[in-house]
Amino acid sequence: CLQVATNVTEQKHNVSREVRGQNLGLCRGFRGCTVWLTGLSGAGKTSIAFELEAYLVSKGIPAYGLDGDNIRTGLNKNLGFSQVDREENIRRVAEVAKLFADSGVVSICSFVSPFAEDREMARKIHKDADLKFFEIYIDTPLEVCETRDTKGLYKKARQGVIQGFTGVTQAYEAPDTPDLRVSTEGVTVRESTLKLIRLLEDEAIIPKFIKEDEPLPELYVSESLKAALEAESKTLPALSIAEVELQWLQILAEGWASPLKGFMREQEYLQALHFNCLLNEDETLRVNQSVPIVLSATESDKQRLEGVSALALHYNGRVVAVLRKPEFYFQRKEERCARQFGTTNRDHPYIKMIYESGDYLVGGEIEVLERIQWHDGLDAYRLTPNELRQKFREMKADAVFAFQLRNPIHNGHALLMSDCRRQLLERGFKNPVLLLHPLGGWTKDDDVPLPVRMAQHQAVLDSGVLDREHTVLAIFPSPMMYAGPTEVQWHAKARMNAGANHYIVGRDPAGMPHPDKALY
């Protein structure tokens, strides 16, 4: 008979859940819980569980998927499918999930778990440990599950080869009051997973993130308030901005740098410069932002404008935006260049611009009067993140891979892009779409001009070198900084805001020859 240990005493950890939450993952705060997916074989439990796991990990939230088949190849390989063994299977998994959750991990369990009593036992194990437990019923009709029977299990069960198979010869006790009911019939895995994500957000397990089907916040004033803002701008003191700063204004206004709401204040600037990220207001969430997006001002500008509640930003004598509650702070140029570029050599073209700019920076939230146009015959290619997201939805893309370039496409580039699509198809994606996204802001004098590059890119598409049916050619309006891998993070983050989830990085990304040619 089974001998049960009686001389066992629970040992308390030295590390509390609060301390784990402050130090585990990119999102501070304890988020440990168990998400329990139950449903028939073929309902979609594992697909949704692993999609949720990938989403959470991509946001810096520790998560792990415990799958029924995987568990039975290791921890529970000595168990069969009798009612007693099924109960023990669920008990063991619930105990393991509890340990994961207690460590601060979102534990995602995908098990048929056909008996209500067993699922209630799993819930009680978590309740006794003061851990949150969410029962998710993946409610897919039996006939739909049978059409997804890639393992041939239903067929074998109906032939009598497999006994006690849930849904055929073994009853499934559907949850009466699950925390969430998800139907997978006629919807994608992503759409089903989104329901679980929203549940975790509503339960304050994870922060609220912008979803694929939600628009990014833009910083353009609404049409109904535009006249009032124009009138107000005429009464405000003015600060003139240069062309590169207008390009950064466009970046901010269109949402490429979201969640930034304007030119960086000093705290945001220091976070980006030294830690390549931004913290939200309660400092629980870190968002990648590897380069400062700032507006320079001179000593005389500071003396003239410090203390005003708002100022109007002018470009070529025309008001383009209003900046609220301006904050002036000293620009430590050597520190900025050393941190961002790894050099302070003034022959570097962007570093040269920094040293020639004002000695102060001014930050604040912005309201932009209207969409920024350049009237160079290429504005049709300048799609905003929201427009790109919509285009990808219309193309029914299930993966978007972006390629950043500031030079004409050559054979190596084409091979990278074609091979990336091949790899995505091999991974199981059905319709991966390429975002061919040349940089369209300021570049150094000896780079190929944007109109020439765009003509060449279009010719490459027209010639069939790249699959034009699965490619979107658009312009990324950011200036080029030539800051190497630090800048590459910015390039990738901006494309993620536009809906991309894969990014191709070349051999020398955002690089250039060392400006001191005598030494290097």
User: What pLDDT is attached to residue 151?
Assistant: 78
Q: Does residue 9 form part of some domain?
A: no
Contact 48, 35 (CB under 8 A): no
User: What pLDDT is attached to residue 149?
Assistant: 82
Judge if 56 and 199 occupy the same domain: yes
> Exposed, middle or buried by CB within 10 Å (0-12, 13-18, 19+), for 18?
exposed
Could you give the count of Cα atoms lying within 13 Å of 231 in the half-sphere of its Cβ? 5
Judge if 77 and 181 occupy the same domain: yes
Total residues found in the chain within this entry: 520
Structural domains counted in the chain: 3
Judge if 249 and 394 occupy the same domain: no
Pairwise CA distance, residues 439 & 478, whole Å: 6
First to last CA, the chain: 77
pLDDT tier for residue 73 given thresholds of 50, 70 and 90: confident
Judge if 168 and 239 occupy the same domain: no
User: What pLDDT is attached to residue 22?
Assistant: 66
Structural domain of residue 465, as residue ranges? 379-503
Q: Does residue 210 form part of some domain?
A: no
User: What pLDDT is attached to residue 395?
Assistant: 95
Q: Does residue 514 form part of some domain?
A: no
Judge if 362 and 466 occupy the same domain: no
478 or 86, higher pLDDT: 478
Q: Which residues are the active-site residues? A: 113
Residue 210 pLDDT exceeds 90: no
In single-letter form, the type of residue at position 135 comes to: E
27 or 423, higher pLDDT: 423
pLDDT tens column, 357-398 = 999 999 999 999 999 999 999 999 999 999 999 999 999 998
Contact 101, 63 (CB under 8 A): no
Q: Does residue 393 form part of some domain?
A: yes
pLDDT tier for residue 3 given thresholds of 50, 70 and 90: low
Mean pLDDT of 409-420: 90
Judge if 245 and 135 occupy the same domain: no
| DSSP designation for 236 | S
**Residue corresponding to tokens 């100022």:** 311
Least confidently predicted of 117-131, 170-184, 275-289, 335-349: 275-289
The contacts of residue 503 (CB under 8 Å, 6+ apart) are 401, 402, 404, 491, 492, 495, 496
Residue 159 pLDDT exceeds 90: no
Judge if 235 and 364 occupy the same domain: yes
User: What pLDDT is attached to residue 349?
Assistant: 95
Residue 92 pLDDT exceeds 80: yes
Strand partners, 137: 38, 181
Q: Does residue 459 form part of some domain?
A: yes
Question: DSSP 3-state assignment of 248?
Answer: helix
Peptide bond between residue 259 and the one before it cis (omega within 30 degrees of 0): yes
State the angle between helix axes of 349-356 and 333-341 in degrees (0 to 180), rounded to the nearest 10.
160
Residue 282 pLDDT exceeds 80: no
According to DSSP, the β-strands at 106-110 and 33-38 are parallel
pLDDT tens column, 133-149 = 999 999 999 999 888 88
* Domain-ending residue, one of 368, 402, 421: 368
Contact 98, 131 (CB under 8 A): yes
**Residue corresponding to tokens 């990304």:** 509
325 or 505, higher pLDDT: 325
Least confidently predicted of 13-27, 208-222, 277-291, 460-474: 13-27
User: What pLDDT is attached to residue 506?
Assistant: 77
Q: Does residue 171 form part of some domain?
A: yes
State the angle between helix axes of 189-202 and 45-58 in degrees (0 to 180), rounded to the nearest 10.
60
Judge if 300 and 242 occupy the same domain: yes
CA 55 to chain centre: 8
150 or 368, higher pLDDT: 368
State the angle between helix axes of 266-275 and 333-341 in degrees (0 to 180), rounded to the nearest 10.
40
Per-residue burial over 200-215, b = 16 or more CB atoms within 10 Å of its CB, e = otherwise? beeeebbbebeeeeee
> Exposed, middle or buried by CB within 10 Å (0-12, 13-18, 19+), for 338?
middle
> Of all residues in the chain, what percent carry a pLDDT higher than 70?
95
Least confidently predicted of 37-46, 73-82, 261-270, 427-436: 73-82
Assign residue 37 the CATH number of its domain: 3.40.50.300
In single-letter form, the type of residue at position 377 comes to: G
Pairwise CA distance, residues 450 & 444, whole Å: 11
**Closest Cα partner for 259 from 296, 292, 289?**
289
Pairwise CA distance, residues 453 & 440, whole Å: 10
pLDDT tier for residue 484 given thresholds of 50, 70 and 90: very high
| DSSP designation for 412 | H
Residue 1 pLDDT exceeds 60: no
Judge if 62 and 189 occupy the same domain: yes
Assign residue 466 the CATH number of its domain: 3.40.50.620
Pairwise CA distance, residues 33 & 131, whole Å: 6
Q: Does residue 252 form part of some domain?
A: yes
Phi and psi of 333, rounded to 5°? Answer: -65, -40
* Domain-ending residue, one of 332, 348, 368: 368
Q: Does residue 519 form part of some domain?
A: no
160 or 33, higher pLDDT: 33
Judge if 140 and 22 occupy the same domain: yes
Average pLDDT, the chain: 91
User: What pLDDT is attached to residue 257?
Assistant: 97
Neighbours of 107 (CB within 10 A): 28
Assign residue 235 the CATH number of its domain: 3.10.400.10
168 or 100, higher pLDDT: 100
Per-residue burial over 62-98, b = 16 or more CB atoms within 10 Å of its CB, e = otherwise? bbbbbbbeebbeeebeebeeeeeebbbbbeebbebbb
Pairwise CA distance, residues 85 & 82, whole Å: 5
Judge if 415 and 386 occupy the same domain: yes
User: What pLDDT is attached to residue 13?
Assistant: 66
Residue 160 pLDDT exceeds 90: no
Q: Which two tokens stand for residue 509?
A: 């990304």
User: What pLDDT is attached to residue 378?
Assistant: 97
Judge if 192 and 148 occupy the same domain: yes
Residue 65 pLDDT exceeds 70: yes
